[in-house]
Amino acid sequence: MTRQRENLRRSKMIEIQTIDAKSAPAVLSRWETEDSYYSGMKTSIAGPINMKARANPYLESPESVAKTEKVDFSFPLNGPIQLVYLHPSSDSGLPHTRGKTGIAMPVFLLWEPSNKTMQHELVHLSQKQFREKWFSFYEKAWKFRKATEKELLSIPIKWRSRRRINPDTLSSPYMVWRERYIPLAVFINEGTPDIRFCKRGFWDLKLTQWTWEEPPGWLELFSTGFNDEHPNEIAAHWIDGSAGKERQLMFGQVFS
pLDDT at 253: 61
Percentage with pLDDT > 70 across the chain: 93
Q: How open is the CA angle 249-253-256, to the nearest 5 degrees?
A: 155
pLDDT tens per residue, range 92-125 = 999 999 999 999 999 999 999 999 999 999 999 9
**Per DSSP, what are the bridge partners of residue 14?**
71
**Per DSSP, what are the bridge partners of residue 184?**
201
pLDDT higher than threshold 90 for residue 26: yes
Q: Residue 129 corresponds to which amino acid?
A: Q
- Tell me the pTM: 0.94
DSSP states along 182-195: EEEEEES-SSS--T
- What span, in angstroms and rounded, lies between the C-alpha atoms of 101 and 130? 12
- What span, in angstroms and rounded, lies between the C-alpha atoms of 35 and 98? 7
pLDDT tens per residue, range 138-196 = 999 999 999 999 999 999 999 999 999 999 999 999 999 999 999 999 999 999 999 99
- What span, in angstroms and rounded, lies between the C-alpha atoms of 189 and 252? 39
**Contact assessment for residue 122 and residue 116, using Cβ atoms and an 8 Å cutoff:** no
pLDDT at 7: 44
**Contact assessment for residue 122 and residue 100, using Cβ atoms and an 8 Å cutoff:** no
pLDDT at 226: 65
SS3 163: strand
pLDDT at 2: 47
Q: Residue 198 corresponds to which amino acid?
A: C
Domain boundaries, the chain: 3-129, 132-253
Rounded alpha-carbon distances, angstroms, from residue 238 to 176, 222, 246: 20, 9, 9
Rounded alpha-carbon distances, angstroms, from residue 43 to 46, 50, 151, 237: 8, 11, 20, 30
- What span, in angstroms and rounded, lies between the C-alpha atoms of 130 and 117? 20
- The overall average pLDDT reported for the chain is 93
